[in-house]
Amino acid sequence: MENNNSIWKKEGQNNRKFRTLEQNIETDVCVIGGGIAGMSVAYYLAKEGKKVAVLEKDRICSKTSGGTTGKITSQHHLFYNYLIQSQNKDFAKKYLKANEEAIQNIEEIIQTEKIDCDFERKSAFVWTKNLDKLQMIKAEVDSVKSLGKNPKFTNEIEILGKIEGAIEFENQAQFHPVKYVNGLAKSILENGGEIFENTKVVEYQKRDKEFTILAEAGGNTKQVKAKYVVVCTRYPIFNVPGFYFLKMYQELEYGIAIKTDTKLKGMYVSVEVPTISFRDYEENGENYILIVGNGHKTGEKTEENGFEVLENFAKTYFPDKEIVYRWNAEDTIGLDKIPYIGEYSEVRENMYVATGFKKWGMTSSNVAANLITDKIMGRKSQYEEIFNSTRLEAIKNHEEMKNMLKEVGESVIMPRLKGEKGKKYCAHLGCEVTWNDVTKTWDCPCHGSRYEPDGKLVEGPSVYDLN
């Protein structure tokens, strides 16, 4: 079994390496982050004729994008009834349209660039076995119908058999995310773009209308001068301006891949908590089922092994299984559950951000790439307002804000007031980190930075090792 390595990142799957930044450079657009969002932004801008440079701290598609289920769907769990209630019907309709268009855009990119990434159209389901959750399913069906899409309701699905209910979105898709991003990389290079791996951005400066990005690479600090900057680091690494640390948090999820003879016709995710999401994948005549979920807020102390729920599900429904991969991945969630896409701040012209995808980054990344490309190219996007990244409405979610402030108090203020010795503090904003015995990492409960046992940075928003 391969631990902490998803099926997408196995040996030889992502074998192309890109050079480290070795000298100061100038470019039109500097994209920070080489996941699917950053690479999609770079792809579209390079096709528009912009000179683009991507800076990735590790390797492209090595973090969240390489730990996803690879579902390409506008069905973002039970979300549209929530959007209608919290926003309005027109807002929800635009959100749905943006993500439906993203599915088609991704398919068009795959066809245009001839990317072999196992793209396959399938239905997506959200299901429940609990009678007390059935009304949530029915309300979602009614809400989606009111937006002009025709979902189906069913009380039986493959593998699980009879259930209380499920909502089905037809004509969704799945693919191999790392192969797809490698295809984007090929096109970026062919269109004059540059990609740098093992190049960690630590700071930026702005003078007049030009940005200077400072990046550590090979033990040295290099500079990238650019007219535009796009931050696609999952959780924004620059605290000021923008103040995204007040508007979002991170969750850690676990994943396993099992080898089995079973093939699936659809893609599935449960309403119940802990969440279970599963889909199949075939490679070289062998069939796998990916089972992902059982998430919790990063840094939250849990009593159970994060993989046990997934493994018990596999034992129940796939008795012929052999567990071959086990991994974990983070994602960011805004307080109002809607992605932040657009200007990094109202006071930082020509700097953009894409974050808060809420575990639905395959379509959200394409939405972000198109919206940001439009803004840089001087075009108006019909989706600017619903993804407005400078909005403050999220802070009005008083319950989540109260929880966040409580965690900051418990993680920053109380340990220092008590003068406790031997504590470890995150290099981001000084919160006390907790030990995750499952992943063997130090995790920050405030903003989700994670560190190896020796303190080496694994994931941000921190850009430095553990204090």
Under 8 Å CB-to-CB from 408, ≥6 apart: which residues?
Answer: 431, 446
Bridge partners, residue 161, by sequence: 157
The answer on 276 and 167 residing in a single domain is yes
The answer on 164 and 269 residing in a single domain is yes
The answer on 327 and 264 residing in a single domain is yes
The answer on 415 and 269 residing in a single domain is no
What's the confidence (pLDDT) of residue 342?
97
Low-confidence ranges of the chain (pLDDT < 50): 12, 414, 417-418
The answer on 292 and 329 residing in a single domain is yes
What is the Cβ-side half-sphere exposure of residue 20, based on CA atoms within 13 angstroms? 15
What's the confidence (pLDDT) of residue 207?
92
297: buried, middle or exposed (CB in 10 Å: 19+, 13-18, 0-12)? middle
Q: How far apart are CA 184 and CA 181, in angstroms?
A: 5
The answer on 255 and 166 residing in a single domain is yes
Q: What is the pTM (predicted TM-score) of this model?
A: 0.93
Structural domain contains residue 93: no
Over residues 23-76, the pLDDT tens digits come to 999 999 999 999 999 999 999 999 999 999 999 999 999 999 999 999 999 999
What's the confidence (pLDDT) of residue 1?
56
Structural domain contains residue 432: yes
What's the confidence (pLDDT) of residue 10?
74
Q: How many CB atoms lie within 10 A of CB 96?
A: 22
Q: How far apart are CA 98 and CA 74, in angstroms?
A: 8
What's the confidence (pLDDT) of residue 302?
77
The answer on 319 and 275 residing in a single domain is yes
Structural domain contains residue 110: no
The answer on 348 and 313 residing in a single domain is no
What's the confidence (pLDDT) of residue 417?
46
What's the DSSP call for residue 314? Answer: H
The verdict on whether omega for the bond into residue 339 sits within 30 degrees of 0, i.e. cis, is no
What's the confidence (pLDDT) of residue 414?
46
Return the biggest CA–CA distance within the chain.
63
Over residues 87-128, the pLDDT tens digits come to 999 999 999 999 999 999 999 999 999 999 999 999 999 999
The answer on 314 and 341 residing in a single domain is no
What's the confidence (pLDDT) of residue 381?
96
Structural domain contains residue 92: no
The answer to whether residues 127 and 163 touch, using CB atoms and an 8 Å cutoff, is: yes
CATH code for the domain of 49: 3.50.50.60
Structural domain contains residue 57: yes
Residue range(s) defining the domain that contains residue 133: 119-173+249-334
The answer on 124 and 229 residing in a single domain is no
What's the confidence (pLDDT) of residue 423?
86
C-alpha dist (Å) from residue 107 to 113, 136, 169, 322: 10, 31, 17, 32
**Which amino acid makes up residue 245?**
F
Under 8 Å CB-to-CB from 117, ≥6 apart: which residues?
Answer: 110, 175, 176, 177, 179, 180, 183
Structural domain contains residue 327: yes
The answer on 146 and 38 residing in a single domain is no
**Which amino acid makes up residue 10?**
K
What's the confidence (pLDDT) of residue 39?
98
Under 8 Å CB-to-CB from 446, ≥6 apart: which residues?
Answer: 245, 299, 404, 407, 408, 411, 412, 426, 428, 429, 431
The answer on 202 and 137 residing in a single domain is no
Structural domain contains residue 101: no
